[in-house]
Amino acid sequence: MTRIVLTADETLTSTYHDVPLLDFLGCAPYDKLPKWVFRVMDSQLPDRDGVLTQAPYGLRKVEAALLRDGFKRSEVVVAHPRKVEKFIGEDTTVVALYEMDPLGLGPVSMMFTNGGQWKNYTSVKFRELVERINGIRERRKLDFKLVVGGPGAWQLEFRREERERLGIDHVVIGEVDHIAGELFREIESGTADETVMVKGWPRVEQIPTIVAPSYKGLVEVMRGCGRGCRFCEPNLRVARFMPLERIEEEIKLNVRAGIDHAWLHSEDIFLYRVEDRKTFYPNVDAVVELFETARKYTGNVNPTHGTVAAALAAPGMIEVISGIVDAGPNHWIGIQVGFETAAPELIGKYMNNKMKPFSPEEWPWVLLNGTYVFNKNYWFPAYTTILGLPGDTDEYEIETARLIITMERELETKLGNRAHFTVTPLAFVPMGLLKDQEFYRIEDMITYGQFLHLYYAWKHLGKEVVRGLPELLRGNPFLIPFYPLARLGVRAVLRQIEKWGKKRGYEVKPLEPLDLHVDVDEHRWYDQPSFAEAY
């Protein structure tokens, strides 16, 4: 049996048939959807005798840190959650779970579960896994410690009564790359606190290189952000940039394992090795070199997150990257981007670096023109907005709805079928510097302006499913029956939103677009001359 068993709940080891954005199925209300939906969509990563052959990136980092800190290969296993029993025995001292949303308190889950009043799929699978592990411990009379860490560990500290009911011995909050060996030995010896709040962050040289393949070929290119959005934990961390040599090494490891994809992870890909901390203008040469390096090893290179302001500030950078990764009509580059709100007042108050090098007053114009830059170069931004941000007003919410309408019309006018984006409203969750605020509960708190914001966001999503989803069908036979199902699903949700609004006296009304226009092509001066000359 194994000394240290690392695993995660099944929502983090599911491939979801490689359907774009279906990873968010874990946030769906488990009791409100037919159970067959989860059974059909939830396809699991492969394993070899119970050992994951690919694993969530966070697990791989902990594994690498423990091996670096003196634990033997035979003492550490990254186990498939469905086969974790195979590795737990008399020699096991720690079973550690890496979790993203264990109790369903994340922004997406809180939106889809009526403020947490319903159970989401991640919380169901997390509880199932914990109960199975505790069942093993009790039946075999074992004394290993059950530990939970990862980005969602804060939820178990926030809901301490649930943590105690589940029999979780330790909760670890924070980055552990630099202290993994010491921490696990303290847990083994019984000297660790029940809640381990890791102070500070590891330096770049203390963050280990993964030693086994990561799910989806995920490779971390930077950690933290530096833009300092008050509601966002990662944005408040010190930004650290991984050297190209390490990024290259991890990509090569994944490619050797047969993963033909490099998924470049960061909070904002365009801040990689940024030097201008005043305006946050991208270090264009460094970002371009990053994509060139990844492209040497695989034909599929994609970022996870980025900012629209950086794309607009350096449209030539987006154009060059598109050439590097062969973006085109049959190969769109997906990227997750924070839209948050159309209100310059709220952007300036809570996210005063998010729009740089532009001003808060320019934020709606930045969103429109930055999306144009993305679309013109075959990038598909998936935006998220926030419902219930402190200080929100109906005027601000209606402005957000009007901006969605403006973007849809203006971009179609300029780009025709090349115009693509989605907007997903999320519930405000008190994190970062806003921990003292209240969770947003849509059922109890929604206002008329928020209702219109929600409605027009989903209405546009329905349009994208009809127009954009066929482009994603190519190369994935599983998606063929999924297309009509998705169309019906989005229409059903839209009808449900309308009915739900009527019960509250909220009628859908036509909204006029904002007086904004795509004019970025007349403002190419945002590109720095040195970059224009170099490329």
The pTM of the full predicted model, rounded to 2 decimals, is 0.93
Pair of tokens at residue 105: 């308190």
CB 329 within 8 A of CB 377: no
The whole-number pLDDT of residue 348 equals 93
Torsion of CA 390, 391, 394, 396, to 10 degrees: -100
Nearest to 234 by CA among 207, 284, 268: 268
Q: Rounded to whole angstroms, how far apart are CA atoms 470 and 503?
A: 35
User: pLDDT digits over 462-482, tens only?
Assistant: 899 877 666 655 666 666 666
Q: Which fold has domain 213-534?
A: pyruvate-formate lyase- activating enzyme (3.80.30)
| 3-state SS, residue 376 | helix
Band of pLDDT at residue 20, cut at 50, 70 and 90: low
Using one digit for the tens of pLDDT, what is the confidence trace for 97-124? 999 999 999 988 988 887 788 899 999 9
What's the mean pLDDT when you consider all of the chain? 91
Over the stretch 167-222, which tens digit does the pLDDT of each residue have? 999 999 999 999 999 999 999 999 999 999 999 899 999 999 999 999 999 999 99
pLDDT per position as a tens digit, 21-76: 778 889 989 988 889 888 888 999 999 999 999 999 999 999 999 999 999 999 99
Q: Tally Cβ neighbours within 10 Å of residue 507.
A: 11
Helices (H) and strands (E) in the chain, counts: 18, 17
pLDDT tens-digit map of 79-95: 999 999 999 999 999 99
> Domain boundaries in the chain?
4-197, 213-534
Give me the DSSP letters along 282-336. Answer: --HHHHHHHHHHHHTT-S-EEESEE-HHHHHH-HHHHHHHHHHTT-BTTB-EEEE
Cα within 13 Å of Cα(177), Cβ side: 18
Strand, coil or helix: 47:
strand
Structure tokens at 231: 């509601």
The angle that helices 315-324 and 363-376 make with each other, rounded to 10 degrees, is 30
Report the percentage of the chain scoring pLDDT > 90: 75
Q: Which residues contact 432 (CB under 8 A, 6 or more apart)?
A: 229, 230, 231, 232, 233, 235, 236
Q: Could you tell me the two tokens for 442?
A: 């849509």
pLDDT at 470 (0 to 100) = 65
**What is the predicted pLDDT for the residue at 479?**
62
Alpha-carbon distances, residue 39 vs 10, 17, 35, 36, 485 (angstroms)? 12, 12, 7, 5, 15
pLDDT single digits (tens) 365-379 = 999 999 999 999 999
Q: What's the DSSP call for residue 120?
A: B
Nearest to 397 by CA among 425, 368, 437: 425
Asked if residue 326 lies in contact with residue 299, where contact means CB atoms within 8 angstroms, the answer is yes
pLDDT of residue 23: 82
* Averaged pLDDT, 273-298: 95
Integer Cα distance of 524 and 146 in angstroms? 55
